[in-house]
Structure 1
């Protein structure tokens, strides 16, 4: 038995309080090394006084990564207190106990020693911070407001270009605004999305608005607060939630706080709102380096000192304002992994106090267990789960490695949080899906389908539904195509059917068992429970393969005459 492959950490992603008296437990072992895992558990007080006996349950093998196997079960604990340990049997029949003190011999006296058990002193559902139930049922639609639709010409910037004209540059303006989004809410409702994620809408000199000047005001080129309220009300009337984007890692250089620092130097009342290491602020004449911290290396985005109580109070007031005054449903926080955890706990606690079902999402490009739970976010943007899909369909990752990487990411978070992870194949920060897949529409449809079959809350980037192309920023921020040709309209019809399927099966896809099979060059993802089986079969080879006989798929791509072309898929429900 490979003891080095065995791991469990209580009160981490390895345990999840699902409800009162319900604790989900995971154990990691080396792959292909263990035949069975039993968990022994009891209320520690009742067990030690002899009024209850240890219970035993066989754990089920779940997902496997490239090197590890995960085992899982859900315990029902009448008193909300529990101690537990694992009895592990390897493939040749050898056994070992495993608990808080490490490994111990499988003999009766050791199983009677409470110090050998992991402890969950009390299962507080409030501490579990379960994500809002509505999130796992949501299909998001991300909008870059400056490029979605121009609803009011009177608020256009002076240097506005005709819609969609010319090559997109970093300083291009096309006049997209909030009334333009509101005017297209019926189109979005017809598409089937039920969550709108808006990139920043606050006062800013740029087209992207990630260099905020005033967090309490709508950028005048986007409209007014009345326009925003109309958008929120219109979205809510159509069953859509609204998520705003906040940039609290840094301010724009034109913000009044930073301008006061520029003007008054060390005497500025905002001097300690930023990370400043020399005066006057600027570049050191010798090293040519900035003497203040920024987002990345951008001099125009000075980093905010979120450990300052005055800064914390200001930013918390910002987020509360847009919830209390306009009724938004969620916040996405930019560069969340570069902001201190203490601030996030203070902010998230304040928002949950005024809106218990608020969805709080952090931006991170890597696995970020430290940001999820523990008083912080419900979820993060799940790039480590979604980006391997692109590599898979581009032939840069073989199916075996794809499955291992994906399963690893699925085990990074507690199941309730995994259900709320924000899953997107393209965003304003990445090349567009069609371009990444070299214009291959069949693979494009297959990748979207695989995304929709995975746990999490999926997101469509504006224009993806009509197969818009675009390379790296700023090319991925082209104007929305409101006049799709026949092929693009067919893509929209496909995406509409896919979203309808996802929303109809949302509860099932959040909780059903997930298994992978590799059959030649086909990757098969199966989701099952006691009542239903959903299966996606994807051809990742260079040659066509036969379709599954005797089954009528509900969605397909690349299938003709009972053959599935390279990059194609078939989706079945039984």
Structure 2
């Protein structure tokens, strides 16, 4: 069984590498946030790479620090890189009283549980060498009541309210505004990060947030600035509270209403808004796995369909750590489990294949979008440019389903080449391209001129079996050598 999976994975990788008619973004092209995909992780919950900072770590209490650190991010970066993510959002890195960085006590000091400032710089530099950038959360308010500013009697007027141990700054106070701006500028000039996510922005007016964005962009024009709250400010990507619920309510089960799929995609397509952050999971909510399991569904299958929409619809994919291993849990610490690196990797390889397509095709990121069918979970859409044409089909229903696409839509003498299962579809006698998918299956087709045999697939398959035969020969040869040695000893 494992060898069969190895054959499929190896063949798919070779086919994907041989199937593109265009390359990924060149160094000369301008990169935008719509070219990126964001992997959201909590430093403390990823990997414990060094015991030097395990201060009062308690892995048995989910509310306490668990030992994950900057060194762990460096040691396990290959997993994130292989999945094709280009931005790694690591939450707040400032001195904090809680593992998730939600009780910040300083805007200058780095949390010692995570490591030193030098180790943080190493994370940034190491990921940059692997073509990934680091994004960090900066909370504008709701920090610990023990924050160094809150302990300064001269800054008493800066505090608007205190609740549950958290301080809410008066974000209309000009002194607070200036101090926050200075802290932000000092941080981004000290650390060459690729992005900032402004959090806890309630109470800050749009004009002030825009001034922060303008100031940061002046320091680093390539810096991406987003938020995890709704705002009319000039963020690089738009956040909508409802997005998470829309996508999880479409994909947590089969045959569900998918009419809202493009609710926050359409404004971007119409040129009225910047791209939306597209996600089906969130660090603030129940895990998607939790919701799909409550529906008595098999989470990995549900996740495959959700990933296809997240990665191929126009927008900015945001994926929570652990979704690729079907991490479970209710909202809060239970949903922030320590990452298990010994789980099945089927979903991980699936994401690798999807991301390889997305990263190597600018058309799948920026091409013209057209929805062909969207009926209760059966979704088919095209992405087209002068260089390439693609068809994405998601059958998130309980039965085999199909879509007939006319030659006027696809073109004459074309064929659809499946990237995941290597299907080939050509026009039938009625002049239609009939795409039939089994239940709960996703396929991505490249639309190309008809060219007969799938040479790349045959070559890939032949290479795989040549490797297998060579492997068997080596095993047999080694077995004979061992028997010869054993006979000689006798």
| Interval of TM-score (by shorter of Structure 1 and Structure 2) | 0.7 to 0.9
Query: In structure 1, how many angstroms separate the alpha carbons of the residues matched to 2:362 and 2:54?
Result: 40
Deviations 1:506-547, CA, capped at 9 Å, x for gaps: 454324123241468622222233443322222233223369
Q: What stretches of structure 1 of length at least 5 have no aligned partner? A: 1-131, 261-267, 276-291
1:476 partnered with 2:476: no
1:246 partnered with 2:138: yes
Q: Would the aligned equivalents of 1:385 and 1:406 in 2 still touch at CA under 8 Å?
A: no
Output aligned runs, 1:207-286, within 5 Å: 207-260=99-152, 268-275=153-160
Per the TM alignment, residue 339 of structure 1 is displaced from its structure 2 partner at its CA by 2.2
1:422 partnered with 2:277: yes
**Normalised TM-score (structure 1):** 0.63
Deviations 1:91-137, CA, capped at 9 Å, x for gaps: xxxxxxxxxxxxxxxxxxxxxxxxxxxxxxxxxxxxxxxxx833221
Query: In structure 2, how many angstroms separate the alpha carbons of the residues matched to 1:535 and 1:414?
Result: 18
Classify 1:152/1:519 alpha carbon distance in 2 versus 1 (closer, same or farther; 3 Å). Answer: closer
Aligned to 2:394, which of 538, 555, 559?
538
Counterpart in the other structure of 1:140? 38
Per the TM alignment, residue 454 of structure 1 is displaced from its structure 2 partner at its CA by 1.1
Deviations 1:443-494, CA, capped at 9 Å, x for gaps: 210110011111112122212222322222121100011112xxx2111111
Q: Secondary structure at the match of 2:444?
A: strand
1:528 partnered with 2:384: yes
| Greater share of residues in helix | 2
Counterpart in the other structure of 1:264? none
1:311 partnered with 2:169: no
Q: What stretches of structure 2 of length at least 5 have no aligned partner? A: 1-29, 406-414, 423-434, 448-490
Deviations 1:364-407, CA, capped at 9 Å, x for gaps: 2x5x4x23x3xxx22233443443121112359844xx33x333
Classify 1:426/1:556 alpha carbon distance in 2 versus 1 (closer, same or farther; 3 Å). Answer: farther
Aligned to 1:380, which of 238, 246, 253?
238
Classify 1:493/1:386 alpha carbon distance in 2 versus 1 (closer, same or farther; 3 Å). Answer: same
Counterpart in the other structure of 1:342? 207
Q: Secondary structure at the match of 1:569?
A: strand
Classify 1:520/1:193 alpha carbon distance in 2 versus 1 (closer, same or farther; 3 Å). Answer: closer
Per the TM alignment, residue 566 of structure 1 is displaced from its structure 2 partner at its CA by 3.1
Q: Secondary structure at the match of 1:203?
A: coil
Output aligned runs, 1:425-440, within 5 Å: 425-438=280-293, 439-440=298-299
Once the two structures are overlaid, the 10-residue window that deviates more, 456-465 or 143-152, is 456-465
Per the TM alignment, residue 240 of structure 1 is displaced from its structure 2 partner at its CA by 0.9
Output aligned runs, 1:164-179, within 5 Å: 166=60, 169=62, 171-179=63-71
Classify 1:457/1:519 alpha carbon distance in 2 versus 1 (closer, same or farther; 3 Å). Answer: closer
Q: Would the aligned equivalents of 2:265 and 2:315 in 1 still touch at CA under 8 Å?
A: no
Per the TM alignment, residue 304 of structure 1 is displaced from its structure 2 partner at its CA by 0.6
Q: Secondary structure at the match of 2:140?
A: coil
Counterpart in the other structure of 2:189? 324
Q: Would the aligned equivalents of 1:379 and 1:417 in 2 still touch at CA under 8 Å?
A: no
Classify 1:310/1:460 alpha carbon distance in 2 versus 1 (closer, same or farther; 3 Å). Answer: same
Q: Secondary structure at the match of 1:517?
A: strand
Query: In structure 1, how many angstroms separate the alpha carbons of the residues matched to 2:135 and 2:249?
Result: 29
Counterpart in the other structure of 2:19? none
CA RMSD, Structure 1 to Structure 2 (Å)? 2.7
Query: In structure 2, how many angstroms separate the alpha carbons of the residues matched to 1:483 and 1:520?
Result: 36
Query: In structure 1, how many angstroms separate the alpha carbons of the residues matched to 2:57 and 2:264?
Result: 45
Deviations 1:226-275, CA, capped at 9 Å, x for gaps: 00010111011111111110111222111122234xxxxxxx31121111
Query: In structure 2, how many angstroms separate the alpha carbons of the residues matched to 1:224 and 1:195?
Result: 21
Query: In structure 2, how many angstroms separate the alpha carbons of the residues matched to 1:396 and 1:445?
Result: 12
Q: Would the aligned equivalents of 2:399 and 2:439 in 1 still touch at CA under 8 Å?
A: yes
Classify 1:358/1:422 alpha carbon distance in 2 versus 1 (closer, same or farther; 3 Å). Answer: same
| Greater share of residues in strand | 1
Count of residue correspondences: 393
Classify 1:181/1:416 alpha carbon distance in 2 versus 1 (closer, same or farther; 3 Å). Answer: farther
Query: In structure 2, how many angstroms separate the alpha carbons of the residues matched to 1:274 and 1:324?
Result: 27
**Normalised TM-score (structure 2):** 0.74
